[in-house]
Structure formats: structure tokens, C-alpha cells
Structure 1
Amino acid sequence: MTSMADYNIYKEKMQKIADVRYATAVLQWDQETYLPAQGATHRSRQVATLSELAHTMFTDAELGNLLNQLKTADLQPDERRNVDLSQEDYEKQTKFTPAFVRKMSEAVSAAFHAWVEARKQNDFSVFEPALTELVALKRQEAELLGYKEHPYDALLNEFEKGMTVQQLDAIFNGVKEPLRQLLQQVQQQPEPADDFLHQHFPKQQQWEWGMYLAKQLGFDFEAGRQDISEHPFTINFGSRDVRITTRIDEKDFTNMTWSTIHEVGHALYEQGLPEEMYGLPLGEYASLGIHESQSRLWENCVGRSKTFWKYYLPVLKQYFPEQLQEVELDAFVRAINKIKPSFIRTEADELTYHFHVIVRYELEKRLIEGSLQVKDIPSYWNEQYQQLLGVTVPGDKQGCLQDVHWGHGSFGYFPTYSLGSFYAAQLWKQALKELDGLEDEISNTGNCQRLLEWLRQKVHLHGRRYTSGELCELVTDEKLNSQIFLNYLQEKINSLQP
């Protein structure tokens, strides 16, 4: 059999596996948007069955033998990279039995529904039994995957290939004190007024504004849609079907607007992945750190800039004339960039956001190594928020139940939020360097297409070809440098002072 024939068989197998995985994802999307409450039990079973089926298909010995044959085949560079990455994935997935995969899927579904109920009751103890089981499985997963130094490394690697506790400790220790100093600088200045952002903003008008904004930023509604969910998220079933969700608080205009921009950033990345690579590694995102770099770049570097709102504030006033007609540009920009410690991560400013991430990182690390028990999460959480941010958490819903990630079984995910912000600042600096007149173009016309095309060429089209670090160095000519983010933040803080 020729190398091309072997490769085509491999491609067909991978795309069939993708069909099952994306079918599972459709059920998961529905679970978080439209599923009736009584459908939860059967949905958990359906997702578990399909997850087990996809795993069985991927770990089949026939695929393993085919990948081995392709190791020495004469392939084109893209084909070679797909095969090599699939070989890595295969070796990792064959460490899990189908029974373990099913058990994990069932535990995740149970945890998600327990999390939803616990939030309704504002009571972590409702979530505790399901989360305890899930943490035990995650510890088991880490052992199965293997690690050199810390069990959390194995889980980190699932989201940010090659990242370790040792590296993250160095990164967070390097930014913690500079961020504290910046926060002290801000707290010595008068607090900007932001009461106009907390008037009554009707749900329907917010929804229409969000849909307009998504379209303006380049989200293709012919290849995606937006809905409402408990926690905003992005999910895809291939690059031609990408779903985003948002949530609307009629008393807080900022909630929906920046969650929409954030999720659109994720979605633009998914819609920019090579369509012809469906089901193959080069059709998948590089890492969650790079994924977060896209959402944070659009949300903060663009979406909280004076450049952006010079054009879009007059448009926004057409949607909310009564609420915002008298608000001036400088006052609006200062308000949306207000830096003040709070207890909700998704609503946190660009500076204090990283303290939220550090709390979660340290907590997860301790859970996985066994030095913290699940039942102690609320007390640990509240102590850390008091210590790092100086805020008193009013209840579990606003505290340790605020994020859906543990209900999804996503341990090792949270650090990528900070990594994403650091990558975003570095990419944004490079984009401004290479795209002459970009800020003037955005402020005068509202058109962000040139930035999107730059990201498509520099980041999106590569898929999983490079690790985060390799991609960062390829695009910006240097490794991840968190000082660029600190400089960006310092410059923004200086520019916002009245």
C-alpha cells in the first residue's frame, strides 16, 4: 500500500472520530443552553456513551498500527505533523481504559448538574460529594498520564503542552509583586465614577447590541450562533459551526458586553482554523493559553481601549440613549477600565484578574497533590481572597462556586487565563508594530478586519503545528515575556489618570 493510501485511511478514521466527538459536543452545548431539567440523567448517559465510543475508536489497535506504519512513510510536512501529533495523542489516550473514560464522563456530568444546583442554593456542600469523586478521578488521571515532578503537571499539559508547576510558579511569582505595586498606585488616585454602567439596561436591547458587536468584530453568523447560558462559553463542531453564549444582567451593562467580546475572540480563532484539516491536529487550536490570548486580546487590548470606543460609543448611545447620552468618551473609558478588587473573576479588571487566577491555581495544585481536601475549599478560598484582594466573599455562589470549570472536570485550565493575557499583550504589541495606522483605522471606522486577518495569518492557520512558546517566538521574535504585559498595563493606567 502507498504512503498516500495509508494517510487517507488515517485521515478518514480521524474524521469519523471527530464526527463522534463533535456530536458529543452538540449534546454538551444543549445541556448548558436548552436542556430541560428532567433530561439531565439521560443526557449524562448519552454523553458518557459517545465519549466512551470516541475513545474506543481512537485507541483501537488498528489505528495504532496505522500510525506506526506512517512513522516511516514519505509524507508532506503537514501530513507528517498531523501523524506525529496523533501518535502523541494515541500514546496518551491508550493509558485510559474505556471504563475509566466512561466513569470520568459520568462524574463530570454529575458534577456539572450538582454545581448548577449548588449555585441555586448558594451552598458548596451540595457540590462537594460530586466534586470529591471528580478530584479523586483527576488524581488517578494524573498518575495514569505520568509526570516528572508534580502530579498537576500532567493535567496542565492537557491544556498548555509542556507547561509545569515549576514554570508557573516562576511566572506568577514574577508578576505578583509588580501587580501589587500597580494596584497601590491606582488606589492612591480618585476612583472613577461608573454609576452610569449600573443603570437599567433592558435585556432585549443588550442582546441586540451584543449581536451587532459580534458581527462588527468579524464573527460569522453563517458559521455560528450566540445563545444565553449560566456561564459564558465557546464550543465548536468544526470551524464552520462555532457557538458562543453570553449572560445578561439588566443592572450591569459591562457583564454582557465584555463576555460577548471575550467569547467572540475565542470564536474567531475557531472559525479561522483550517477547514480542510477537519478532524486532524492541524485543524485544532494550539493550546488554551493561545486560545485565551485571542479572547483577552479582543476583550482588553481592543475592547477596553479608547481607540475602540472613540468609534463605538456613539453607536452604543443609539442603543441606550436614555442611559448614556450625556456620558463623555474619557469618562466612559475610565469607567470600563476601573481597577478595584472584587470577588468575581469574569468581571474583574485587567490588573486584579490575575490574583483571581493565582487563587485557583494554588487551590487546584493543592487539591491534586492532596494537601487540601475538597471540603476545605470554601474556607481556603475565602482566606485567599481576603489576603490577596482584601475582599470578603459574601457567599459560595459569589465565591468558590462562581466558575463552571470544576463542573466540567477542567483542572489545569485556570492558569491559561493569565498566560493568555500575557501572550495577548505580546501579540498586540507586535500587531501594532506591523500594521501601520491600525489604531487610527479602528477609531475612525470601527473596522477591525485588518487585525483579524493578521491574527488569521500569524496564529489561526497554524492549528496545533507549534506549541504556545514556539508560536509566540515565531510571531513576536521572543519567548513569552510577562514584562510586556506589565508595561502595557502601566501605560494604560497612566493614560487613564484624569
Structure 2
Amino acid sequence: MSPSETYSSLVQKMQEVADLRYASAVLQWDQETYMPPAGAATRARQVATLTELAHAKFVSPEIHDLLEELGEGHGLEADQQHNLRLIREDVTKSRKLPGSFVRQMSETISKSFNQWMSARKENNFSLFAAPLAEVVELKKQEADLLGYEGHRYNALLNDYEKGATVTMLDAAFHQLKQPLRELIARIGSAPQVDNGFLHKNYPKQEQWDYGMNLLKEMNYDLEAGRQDIAEHPFSINFSARDVRITTRVDEHDLGNMVWSTIHELGHALYEQGLPEDQYGLPLGEAASLSIHESQSRMWENNVARGLSFWKHQYPRLQQAFPQQLAGVDLPHFYKGINQVKPSFIRTEADELTYHFHVMIRYELEKELIGGNLAVKDIPAFWNEQYKNWLGVIVENDRNGCLQDVHWSHGSFGYFPTYSLGSLYAAQFYKKATQDIPQLEANLAQGNTLPLLEWLRTNIHRHGRKYTSNELCTLVTGEPLNSAHFMEYVTGKYASIYLLT
């Protein structure tokens, strides 16, 4: 066969793998949204079977032979060569994991998720401790099978952020800790802003209706997506033409729904912007988890906690909730939604204290995977860290170490990408404002499309062609630089809190 014919055969095989993976993902989406509780055990088996089949097909001799035949990809187009290189990397990595191990991991994770749901409902970490301990042991085994240099946690970090290491992240958090603590301390000494209006009674249906209208205005393609309710907001995709998000509604916290919805929308807009013709291939996938988070954090914070956005959107919110927002003018609203105050819940945290939530989880995961912390000791470690770094006393497990879904999914190494994503978001947004001089004016008129088109052109269309820092350099002219984030938050909060 010619190189192009061999490549076409490889594409067919890769798309068959994607079919199985996305079929499994549909079942997982259903598990977190509509599945009746009694279906949990059978669902774990179904997902495990599909996961094992997808793994077996991915590491099959057929794909190996096609990769060998294609060699370095001579005779292929540039994008085809990129796909070939990345597929080879992925296959080499996946071949290190036996099919039996992949199945065991999948079954354990499905059971773990259901136990997490029960533990959250009962507000009792001990109900989750045993299945979580199984997941942790399997993640240690996975790291050992994959191989690593330095810390065992490095192998798991690499799943979400290629090339990320404990050494790199320790340095990144070290650079953020002191300037953030100083800025938070200055804010704490200033007259505080009021956000009590967010905690009045906001009926669930009215919140849902407003959120759906918001999604439409912000260019979420509802012909290629949908929104549902889940215990923990998430986004999931089965192709660029089927990208779904979830949110949650607290009738006494309007911000919970608004910014969870916009955060997940950011993820969904990225997935809807990936090349459709690269289905099942690396160039049809996101660059990395930190770049994914840069999209969600940009829309959530740089845009939707910005004054320009609400110049257009606030009258619509007032129309939806006239009694609750009576007497709250735009300046009051803007300051309130940007209140800086240490809290228990990561997803509801402000832009500044948020990074300490992430740092605590990062340090905890390092200790768990490194074997220095037992699962049973997580609540004590968690509560101590929250007291030390955020000065809050965690009163229960639901608002403490049971608040995130990630560990029940086996997602160890994910949390650091949230902070990295915020740093990338600030750097990308600064560049976007330079390239689109009327960006803030557009937002003030309710027009978010120019920013979305800029992201589609500069980030989404590349898929996984570049690593995070390569993409950042391509877009902004320099690798990741936390100074842009500190410049953004320092200017913003100095204005809000009248800091001198």
C-alpha cells in the first residue's frame, strides 16, 4: 500500500477505537445524570467491557503493524505526520498497561463513583475511604507500569499535562504563593464588598431558564450539545458535534449556577471548535488539560467576572430576578461577584483564594501517591491545610474532602491544571485584547463572538498539534509567564477594593 492508503487504514482503526471510547463515555454521562441507583453494578461492568475492548483494539497488532509500515511518515502531509507521531506516543504508553489492569481500573472507578455519591449524601468520608483506597493503590500501580523519573506522581501528571513534573509544579506554586497571600492580605484589610444579594432565594426553574438563555447568547451550539443537572458540574464530549455540559442549582446561591454553567461552557466551546474531520485522531483532541482549563477559566473569570460583560448581561439578570436584585446597581453587583473571601468550596472560590484550594489538593495527591499519606488520614490532612492556608475551619466532609468528584474517577494529577489554566487564561486574554482592540466594547454590547472566533483561530483549530507551552509561545510570543496573571488580578482587585 502507498503511505496515504496505509494512513487511511490507520485512521479507520483509530476511529473504531474512538467509537468504543465514546460509547463508554455516553454510559458514564448517563451514570452521572439519569441512571437509576440500582443500575450501578451492571453499569460498572458495561463500562469496563467497553474500556477493555477499546484498549485491546488500540494496542492491537494491526495498529502496531500500520505504525511500523508508516515509519517516520515520509510521503504524508504535515498534519498526518503530527497525528502519526502522537498516535505512536499514545500507543507506546498504552501498551504498558495490560488489558486486565485497564478493566480492573474501570470497574473500580465506577464503583468508587457511586460510593462517593453515597458518602456525599450521608456526609461521611468513611463510606468512601475503602473504594478510594483501592483507586489509590491502582493509580500507584499505573504509575509503576508507565514508568517515571523522580516522583511517582510525575507519571500521573503526564496524563493530563505532558511533561509536567513535581519539580515544575512546586516552582509554579512557589511563585504564586507569596504575591497572592500579600494581595489577599491587603484586600482583607480593606473595606469589604457585599455579595449578600447572591444568597437570597432564587427559584430553581428561573435559574435554569436564565442559564439556558445565557448559553445561547454565548454561542453554545445547542444543536451539538445540551445541559443537564449533576451532583458535580462537568463537561463531556462524544465528538465535536455532541458536546454536553452539566450544572447544579442552589436556590440560595445564584453564583453557583451562573459561574458553573459558564465554566463548563468554556470547556464545551473548545470541544465544539475542534476539527470535525480529525475525529478519533490526536489533532481532533484538546491540546492538554491546562489549555482546556484556560478556556473555561477565561470565560468564567476574565469575561464573566468582568464589568464589560455585565453591562449587557445585568439588565437581563435583573429582568429574571427583579425582586432579588432590587436596589442592587451594576457597580454593587460587579464588586459583589468579585468578593475575595476564603471559603470551603473550590468551585465557588474567588480568583485569588482558588489557587490555595488547588495547591492543597496537589500537595495531598503527592503525599497519597508517594505513599506518605494514608487514605483514612485525608480528612485530617485536608482540614489542617484549610486552616493553615485559608484560615477556615472545615465543619463536615461534604464541604471538605468529599466536595470534588475527581478522585472517584481516578483523576489524580488533574487538579494542578486548574491553576495552570488560570495562568494561561490571563496570558491568552491579554493577547486577545491586543488583537481585538474593541473586545471590551463588544462584550459590553453582548457580543462574545469575536473572542470565540479568536480562540477558534488561535487555539481550538490546532487540536493536540502543540504542547501547552509551544501553543502559548505560538499565540502570545512567549511561554507561560505567571506575571500576566498577577498583573491582571492586581489591577482588577486594586480597583474593586480601592487599594493604594
Q: What TM bracket, shorter-length normalisation? A: over 0.9
CA deviation profile, 1:383-435 (whole Å, cap 9, x unmatched): 00000000000101100000000000000000000000000000000000110
Q: How far is 1:440 from its partner? A: 1.1
Name the CA distance, whole Å, in 2 between partners of 1:176 and 1:69.
50
* Paired amino acid for 1:32: E
* Paired amino acid for 1:382: N
Q: How far is 1:497 from its partner? A: 2.4
| Aligned pairs (5 A) from 1:187-202 | 187-202=188-203
| Aligned pairs (5 A) from 1:308-327 | 308-327=309-328
* Paired amino acid for 1:188: S
Is contact 2:237-2:271 (8 Å) kept?
yes
Name the CA distance, whole Å, in 2 between partners of 1:120 and 1:211.
27
Q: 1:475: which partner in 2?
A: 475
Q: How far is 1:495 from its partner? A: 1.5
| Aligned pairs (5 A) from 1:66-465 | 66-72=66-72, 73-443=74-444, 445-465=445-465
* Paired amino acid for 1:322: Q
**Structure 1 SS opposite 2:355:** helix
Q: How far is 1:190 from its partner? A: 1.3
Q: 1:13: which partner in 2?
A: 13
Name the CA distance, whole Å, in 2 between partners of 1:447 and 1:49.
45
Name the CA distance, whole Å, in 2 between partners of 1:90 and 1:225.
32
Name the CA distance, whole Å, in 1 between partners of 2:206 and 2:478.
44
| Aligned pairs (5 A) from 1:20-39 | 20-39=20-39
| Aligned pairs (5 A) from 1:24-63 | 24-63=24-63
**Structure 1 SS opposite 2:392:** coil
CA deviation profile, 1:148-176 (whole Å, cap 9, x unmatched): 11111100000000111000000000100
* Paired amino acid for 1:211: M
Name the CA distance, whole Å, in 1 between partners of 2:13 and 2:462.
22
Name the CA distance, whole Å, in 2 between partners of 1:253 and 1:289.
27
Is contact 2:152-2:370 (8 Å) kept?
yes
Q: How far is 1:325 from its partner? A: 3.0
Name the CA distance, whole Å, in 2 between partners of 1:198 and 1:158.
38
**Structure 2 SS opposite 1:244:** strand
CA deviation profile, 1:344-375 (whole Å, cap 9, x unmatched): 00000000000000000000001011011111
Name the CA distance, whole Å, in 2 between partners of 1:212 and 1:494.
32
**Structure 2 SS opposite 1:237:** strand
* Paired amino acid for 1:362: E
Name the CA distance, whole Å, in 2 between partners of 1:489 and 1:117.
38
Name the CA distance, whole Å, in 2 between partners of 1:452 and 1:326.
33
Is contact 2:192-2:497 (8 Å) kept?
no
**Structure 2 SS opposite 1:403:** coil
Name the CA distance, whole Å, in 2 between partners of 1:416 and 1:330.
32
Q: How far is 1:216 from its partner? A: 1.0
* Paired amino acid for 2:369: I
Q: Which runs of 4+ in 1 moved over 3 A?
A: none
Name the CA distance, whole Å, in 1 between partners of 2:395 and 2:446.
40
* Paired amino acid for 1:319: A
Name the CA distance, whole Å, in 2 between partners of 1:422 and 1:325.
36
- Unmatched 5+ stretches in structure 2: none
Is contact 2:193-2:497 (8 Å) kept?
no
Name the CA distance, whole Å, in 1 between partners of 2:99 and 2:147.
18
**Structure 1 SS opposite 2:223:** coil
Name the CA distance, whole Å, in 2 between partners of 1:430 and 1:474.
11
Name the CA distance, whole Å, in 2 between partners of 1:95 and 1:291.
26
Name the CA distance, whole Å, in 1 between partners of 2:338 and 2:14.
45
Name the CA distance, whole Å, in 2 between partners of 1:68 and 1:396.
51
Name the CA distance, whole Å, in 1 between partners of 2:184 and 2:437.
32
Q: How far is 1:483 from its partner? A: 1.3
Is contact 2:211-2:261 (8 Å) kept?
yes
- Unmatched 5+ stretches in structure 1: none
Name the CA distance, whole Å, in 1 between partners of 2:185 and 2:97.
48
Name the CA distance, whole Å, in 2 between partners of 1:334 and 1:124.
36
**Structure 2 SS opposite 1:491:** helix
Q: 2:490: which partner in 1?
A: 490
**Structure 2 SS opposite 1:323:** coil
Name the CA distance, whole Å, in 2 between partners of 1:273 and 1:129.
39
Name the CA distance, whole Å, in 2 between partners of 1:356 and 1:269.
25
**Structure 1 SS opposite 2:239:** coil
Name the CA distance, whole Å, in 1 between partners of 2:199 and 2:71.
59
* Aligned CA-pair RMSD: 0.7
**What is the TM-score of this pair, normalised by structure 2?**
0.99
Name the CA distance, whole Å, in 1 between partners of 2:191 and 2:143.
48
CA deviation profile, 1:10-46 (whole Å, cap 9, x unmatched): 0000011101100000000000000001000100000
Q: How far is 1:191 from its partner? A: 1.3
**Structure 2 SS opposite 1:235:** strand
Name the CA distance, whole Å, in 2 between partners of 1:153 and 1:263.
27
Is contact 2:157-2:165 (8 Å) kept?
yes
Name the CA distance, whole Å, in 1 between partners of 2:489 and 2:466.
28
Q: How far is 1:124 from its partner? A: 0.7
Is contact 2:239-2:279 (8 Å) kept?
yes
Name the CA distance, whole Å, in 1 between partners of 2:68 and 2:332.
62
Name the CA distance, whole Å, in 2 between partners of 1:70 and 1:343.
52
Name the CA distance, whole Å, in 1 between partners of 2:197 and 2:375.
40
CA deviation profile, 1:88-129 (whole Å, cap 9, x unmatched): 000000001110000000110111011001101111110000
